[in-house]
Chains A and B, each alone.
Chain A
Amino acid sequence: MMETPTHITKEHIFALLENVKDPEVPVISVRELGVLRDVQVVDGKVIVTITPTYTGCPAMDVMKQDIEAELHKAGIIDLKVKQTLAPAWTTDWISDEGKAKLKAYGIAPPEKTADIRALKGEQPIVECPQCGCKDTVMISAFGSTACKALWKCNDCLEPFDQFKCL
């Protein structure tokens, strides 16, 4: 078994993993998404901990493989990627930078779970990522992937995805 190069530190691995993006939204990294939870280097073995977004998310297998591929490229072979279910992933873990990137990509970012409208069971006010108008309506709570809802803008009339608050 090839030993992990001695210059490999936790910080270095975090930096390498910035290259691993969400396969569906390739502008946001697994760290910005809140999926990458921890990196440990123990006796030369690297342990990367990730957490699934939605329970059935099929992108998780791809992200695991991408993490392995990225670290193999850097010569890290003694590696284990493990999944943890608790604490449960929440959209609150998406970094502000991540949310800005989602919006620039054309996906409305999620509101905070503590949003007063969410607490009252009301629809959030979602800004159209295309034209910026707040007069938008939800077409379906279930959109193109498990994590997204489908919305429409009443002003520019374009449909768009919203990353659902979870």
Chain B
Amino acid sequence: MTEKEALLTYCLRRGDDNLILSHRLGDWCGHGPQLEEDIALTNRALDLIGQARNYLQYAAEVEGKGKTEDDLAYLRNERQFVNTKLVEQPNGDYAHTICRSFLYDAWHLPLQQALTKSTDERIAAIAGKAVKEVTYHLRTSSEWMIRFGDGTEESHKRAQTALDTLWTFTGDLFEQDDVHQLMVSVGVAPDLATIKISFDATIDNVLSEATLERPADAFMASGGRQGKHGEHMGFMLAEMQYLQRAYPGAQW
């Protein structure tokens, strides 16, 4: 594998993580539990799709085959998406959605902080902006985890259930395959072991205040980074990609 091929996959991973989570959050639009939360979720989805665009634009340039960010987002097949399985999980109830974001944000923020020091100028520039936005994301999802966990019996139960269900999907956030190791060796990406230290600290602090129990690491789901997704991904892509597939080349 060449450095260029690894860089392409790396950019697709970053782009896909954000694109898929953004799409999931967008599904709440018009269905939020209260107006302010409806806006807050879609606001965060907007930040994420902006970041996805930045990464997919760069991926298209690195690939050098004349594709655009839209080709990558709307015309790739399921096996070509390389997002973490965490973000493709369905929304569930509000505690589930918040918990999924919390687990993602707790990883995403230290990752973007590390990427500001990437030897790749473009990735460092994208991270320079993402860091500020994701700081607000993590603050919000942490506050909601605390509200739910240290809330009523019902909210506590739902938050704990969400945590117990989603925990298995945090495993692939820290996988370091050949692609990732090559990126680390050339200083483009950080060693994910260092990101795990920040992640663990955030998880422990917030869950403690939320009176929630950190699930034990049991079987950790894997495969997303290699394009092997779970049962939800295909259905979601069918909706997300419908318009371009049905009306190829359609534009605003």
Chain A interface (Cβ < 8 Å from any Cβ of B): 52, 54-58, 85-90, 139-144, 146, 150, 164, 166
Contacts and interface: CB of A to CB of B under 8 A. Distances in A.
Interface of B: 36-37, 39-40, 43-44, 46-51, 53-54, 121-122, 124-126, 128-130, 132-133, 136, 139-140
Tell me which of B39, B130, B140 has the highest count of chain A C-beta atoms within 10 A of its own C-beta.
Answer: B39
A85 to B, nearest CB: 4
A90 to B, nearest CB: 8
Contact of B47 (A54, A144, A150): A54
B43 A142 contact: yes
Contact of A142 (B39, B49, B129): B39
Contacts of B50: 52, 54-57
B86 to A, nearest CB: 21
A85 B125 contact: yes
Nearest to A86: B125
A54 B39 contact: no
Contact of A146 (B37, B46, B54): B46
Nearest to A91: B132
B39 A144 contact: yes
A164 B121 CA distance: 27
A151 to B, nearest CB: 12
A61 B151 CA distance: 42
Contact of B40 (A55, A56, A89, A142): A142
The 5 closest A-B pairs by CB, nearest first: A56-B50, A55-B50, A142-B43, A86-B125, A142-B40
Contacts of A90: 132
A57 B48 CA distance: 11
Given A54-B133, A146-B46, A140 B40 contact: yes
Contacts of B51: 55-56
Contacts of B44: 142
